[in-house]
A and B are shown apart, each in its own frame.
Chain A
Amino acid sequence: MHIDPLESKWIQTALGICGLFVGLILIDAFFHNIHTPSNVETIDSASLHLSEEFAEDNLGVHRDENGNIIVRMVAGRYSFFPKEISVPAETKLTFRWVSIDVLHGVHIPMTNMSTMVVPGFVAELETTFPKPGDYPVLCNEYCGLGHDHMWSKINVVERDQWHATQQPSSGAIDNE
């Protein structure tokens, strides 16, 4: 079998490039805990409204007993519920998404808040929005003929302001 010396150098270079990329990904995954939305948690999409967690009153932005901010959202043709939410900037947020009907995908452009919302599963992911502003929330998976109209809004406010505006009307924030 014949391999040219130049060719074998090139193969080693290509291996090196692959190794570098894989190494970077592994470092991010294992040392910076950067992962994809992958919690493999099942849920019955047909009876979401009867579940504790995704009953209507529990949707939206909540703080749990440890002070973590959890955002529970439902995707259904052709909207996201709740329609509009407000979250603090520079704060770790845990999103929990479910679908009531078909496959959806949700993405907030220019951020890494992105996940598929597959019926039968809870899609959970963590993210932080660095900059305050109004962001659109877009469905990015074909879900039916009204798919174009499936979008809503998220308002990212300064960290301090968010606490100020949210606390007085904190009736909805569960501290139980």
Chain B
Amino acid sequence: MNNVIERKLALSHMSVAFTAFILACFLGEYQVFERSGLIESLGSPTVYFASVSTHGVLMAYVLTTFFIMGFGYYTAATSLETPVWKPELAWTGFGLSLFGVLLAALPLLSGKASVLYTFYPPVQAHHFFYLGATLLIVGSWVWCAIMVVMFYQWKKANPEQPVPLAMFATTANALLWLWTSAGVALEAVFLLIPWSLGWTDTVDPGLARTLFAWTLHPIVYFWLIPAYTAYYVFVPKQAGSYLFSDEVARAAIIVLVVFSLPIGFHHLYMDPEQAKGWKILHGIGTFIVTLPTFVTGFTVIASLEIAGRLRGGKGMFGWIGSLPWNNTMVLAVILSLLMLIFGGFGGIVNASYAMNAMVHNTAWVPGHFHLIFAGTSVIMYFAIAYYLWPILSKKPLFSNNLALLQLWTWFIGMTILTTPWHVLGLLGQPRRISSVVYNNLLTLSWKPYELAMIAGGLIMLSSACLFVYLLYKTQFAKSEETYAAEVEYAEPLHAVKSLPEYLNDFKLWNKVIAIYMAVSFGIPILQFFFLDTFDSSAWSY
């Protein structure tokens, strides 16, 4: 298969993603320096909060969205063995999203959108920021539409056949993202854009926060599903084994999509505008959504165990040593799972309804989500890039050993960065401060942890630079050698001959989600229209 268009689509999207990533890494390192107060002349809240806002937008919206779109196009084309539907439409989506990013970059970089990546009305940013973010989302909807169309076209052409798992997961993510992004899109279109343009005078912060919470949790699963997809469809093959269970993988992905959507209120546990009944309901849902992660962990480890034993590993743990640790995908999944275990533990603490009060908005929270996002997810993005880049550019990877070193340093840096972050949270440090100016004994105990974070951050930054360097050297290598390998998807241990329709389609699940969303967000959103609420006027920062 030549798929020139698909390769170009994937490379373009991923290039934007990783450019955003490396810029954001530099900003991240600057932030740990600034917070520590080590270099006095760096101390500037204006620069710090502009930097936090830009770092968040680049990592959470630009890296993820572009990576997921690029990965999705290529996965769809290769797993279904059919060209991308209407490539000119795909390029339109790419252009819209990129234009949105550039539009939002203007106010972000000039300090006119220091509202952090979660917006926080009634502090108001320049309207270019809200418009840009909205366009980025609209561009990604084009990708969602193409994925859904390709899914159903294939199903129509192959009735009764199980949709390839890679495409099943990708379509699940596209549908998840359509549902997820609706919350923030409603917030932007009906509240933030008219307000920032001066068409309305006031905004309802309670309603804005509720709509944002709709997006705020499932968006994490939008970022995570590509990592899980790689766990399921790439890792077993790369380790030299089979996927332990294809059906259970599908079920896990469905549970992930259905239950991740209606649980956003665990981000509002400490908010006064929603009642405790709704919060408990969302809290229970939050625990249910840990199930697919438990199941995924099992399936992946079982697949790895088979690999280890096939390679001659014996005994209870002997198989671990005989895994191909020098394969980037295998190494990445092991490190990714380790970080998922620690990050998941922190997440369970956060999700615990009332226990959350101790750590809410403290440094614990960024410690936790950096483990899950920059640890679990992004390390798999690296591994996917190492795997796909040579295939996409038709040039061999510049150096496998350097790639392994890069993965290890990312893991070590992440451990050194996030452990102190968690401790600082338990010691009560707020997450969003640019420096420590409190005149209090407690804050002295924060110092050594801040310094450790600088070291962790530096290791991660070097690792990030190495990653970009490796892709660059691969892409622009003047080698004569053409790399001719193609993407290989893992075979399940037990071949899937036929599937019940609920494991091979999303029609039923969309209905379930619609009802569940109406129950969990219906009244909490409508209350702002029947309660006597008071809007806020705009504030600068």
Give the most central of A2, A3, A38, A123: most B CB within 10 Å: A38
Whether B205 contacts A114 by the Cβ 8 Å rule is no
Given A1-B247, A114-B270, A136-B438, A21 and B49 contact (CB-CB distance below 8 Å): no
- B residues in contact with A25, CB < 8 Å: 280, 283-284, 352-354
**A46→B122 CA distance, assembly (Å):** 13
Whole-angstrom distance between the alpha carbons of A102 and B209 in the complex? 13
Contact count A vs B, C-beta below 8 Å: 223
Q: Contact check: which of B205, B247, B280 meets A120 at CB < 8 Å?
A: B205
Residues of A within 8 Å of B, CB-based: how many? 69
Q: Is A146 an interface position by the 8 A CB rule?
A: yes
**In the bound complex, do residue A103 and residue B541 qualify as a contact, i.e. CB atoms below 8 Å apart?**
no
Contact of B534 among A45, A116, A143, A148 (CB under 8 A): A45
Tell whether, in the assembled complex, residue B531 and residue A119 are in contact, meaning their CB atoms are under 8 Å apart. Answer: no
Residues of A within 8 A of B270 (CB): 36-37, 105, 114-116
Nearest Cβ on chain B to A39's Cβ, whole angstroms:
7
B536 touches A34 (CB 8 A): no
Of residues 12 through 62 on chain A, the ones whose CB sits less than 8 Å from some CB of chain B are 14-15, 17-18, 21-22, 25-26, 28-29, 34-46
A98 to chain B, nearest CB (A): 9
**For residue B291, which residues in chain A have a CB less than 8 angstroms away from its CB?**
11, 14-15, 18
Q: A162 near B: Cβ within 8 Å?
A: no
Bound-state CA distance A54–B298 (Å) is: 55
- Whether the pair B275, A151 counts as a contact (CB closer than 8 A) is no
Known contacts A38-B272, A148-B434; decide if A43 and B45 are in contact (CB<8 Å): no
Beta-carbon contact of A140 and B357 below 8 Å = no
CB of B326 within 8 Å of the partner chain: no
Asked if residues A107 and B205 are in contact (CB atoms below 8 Å), the reply is: no
A118 touches B357 (CB 8 A): no
- Is the pair A38, B123 in contact by a Cβ cutoff of 8 Å? no
Cβ of B469: which chain A residues have Cβ within 8 Å of it? none
Residues on B with C-beta less than 8 A from A120 are 204-206, 273, 533-536
B427 CB-CB contact with A under 8 Å: yes
Give B342-355 as 1s and 0s: 1 = Cβ < 8 Å from A's Cβ atoms: 00000010001110
Q: Does A7 have its Cβ within 8 Å of any Cβ on chain B?
A: yes
**Min CB–CB distance B490 → chain A (angstroms):** 16
Q: B205 and A103: CB pair below 8 A?
A: yes
A44: chain B residues within 8 A (beta carbon)? 534
| Residues of chain A within 8 A of B114, CB atoms compared | 145
- Minimum C-beta distance from A118 to chain B (A): 5
Min distance, Cβ A75 to any Cβ of chain B, angstroms: 12
The answer, yes or no, to whether A4 is at the interface (CB within 8 Å) is yes
The residue among B204, B279, B432, B435 with the most chain A CB atoms within 10 A of its own CB is: B432
Q: How far is the CA of A117 from the CA of B209 in the complex (A)?
A: 12
Does B82 count as interface, using CB distance less than 8 angstroms? no
Option from B46, B298, B531 in Cβ contact (under 8 Å) with A10: B298
Q: Is B500 part of the binding interface, using a Cβ–Cβ cutoff of 8 Å?
A: yes
B204 and A109 form a contact (CB under 8 A)? no
Near A by CB (< 8 A), chain B positions 489-541 give 494, 496, 499-500, 503, 527, 531-537, 539-541
Nearest-neighbour CB distance to chain B for A80, whole angstroms, equals 13
In the complex the two chains form, is A142's CB within 8 Å of B432's CB?
A: yes
A151 & B279 in contact (Cβ 8 Å cutoff): no
A147 at the interface (CB under 8 A from B): yes
Contact across chains for B295 and A107 when beta carbons are under 8 A apart: no
* Min distance, Cβ A110 to any Cβ of chain B, angstroms: 6
Expressed in whole angstroms, the Cα–Cα distance for A17 and B287 within the complex equals 9
Flag whether B356 is at the interface (Cβ < 8 A): yes
Contacting pair A107 B428 (CB below 8 A): yes
Distance between Cα atoms of A28 and B274 in the complex (Å): 19
Interface residues of B in 264-301 (CB under 8 A from A): 268-276, 279-280, 283-284, 287-288, 290-291, 294-295, 298-299
B248 part of interface (Cβ distance < 8 Å): yes
Binds A, one of B142-150, B165-173, B358-366: B358-366
Cα separation A145 to B114 with both chains bound (whole Å): 9
A143 to B541, CA, bound (A): 7
With A107-B360, A120-B204 as contacts: A40 and B272 at CB distance below 8 Å: yes
- Contact A37 to B272, CB < 8 A, known contacts A105-B360, A114-B360, A147-B45: yes
Kindly state the separation between the CA atoms of A141 and B440 in the bound complex, as whole angstroms. 19
Is A139 at the interface (CB under 8 A from chain B)?
yes
Q: Is A101 an interface residue (CB 8 A)?
A: yes
Q: Is B430 an interface residue, CB under 8 A from the partner?
A: yes
Shortest Cβ distance from A153 into B: residue: B440
| Contact residue among B116, B356, B360 (Cβ-Cβ distance under 8 Å from A140) | B360
Identify which of A29, A34, A41 gathers the most chain B CB atoms within 10 Å of its CB.
A29
Q: Which 10 A-B pairs have the closest CB atoms?
A: A109-B428, A140-B430, A14-B294, A123-B272, A140-B361, A38-B276, A112-B357, A142-B432, A121-B272, A44-B534
Interface residues of B (CB under 8 A from A): 45-46, 49, 114, 116, 120-123, 204-206, 209, 244-245, 247-248, 268-276, 279-280, 283-284, 287-288, 290-291, 294-295, 298-299, 302, 348, 352-354, 356-358, 360-362, 427-438, 440, 442-443, 494, 496, 499-500, 503, 527, 531-537, 539-541
